[in-house]
Amino acid sequence: MPGSTSVPAVVLETGQAWMASLDSGDYSGTWEKAAASMHSCISQADFGKEMQSIREPLGRVKSRDIKSPRQMTNPPGLPERNYCFISYHTTFENKPNVAETLMLELEPDGIWRIAGYSCPDA
């Protein structure tokens, strides 16, 4: 389970595009772009409801900075795959200093997709 702070550029680009979709309120489209593992954990409708309840009170994004991207192979509790975790420091119009984290998974087709999103400060 070695971790590295070096992640492929495509991972950062994928994360940025997914977050932009999330920020725009396109929860349905955001779910569709996620990994199969996310689809198996939460329905599209439930994802939309959960994101709406988490994100809308925060308001629009004013700024977002990457804190610490890292790549891991076979982390405990997850299927054996390559994963990248991107931590963000985000300022929303209604709440500053919010931590957000994306988990990306390298799927069998060779494409990195979002497998998890967390915003514990919301």
Radius of gyration of the chain, Cα coordinates, nearest whole angstrom: 14
The CATH number that applies at residue 10 is: 3.10.450.100
Each residue's pLDDT expressed in tens, for the chain with a length of 122 residues: 445 567 899 999 999 999 999 999 999 999 999 999 999 999 999 999 999 999 999 999 999 999 989 998 888 888 888 999 999 999 999 999 999 999 999 999 999 999 999 998 77
Question: Nearest-CA neighbor of 101 among 52, 75, 68, 74?
Answer: 68
Count: domains in the chain:
1
Q: What is the DSSP letter of 120?
A: T
User: Domain of 15?
Assistant: 3-118
**This prediction's pTM:** 0.90
Whole-angstrom Cα distance, residue 59 to residue 17? 19
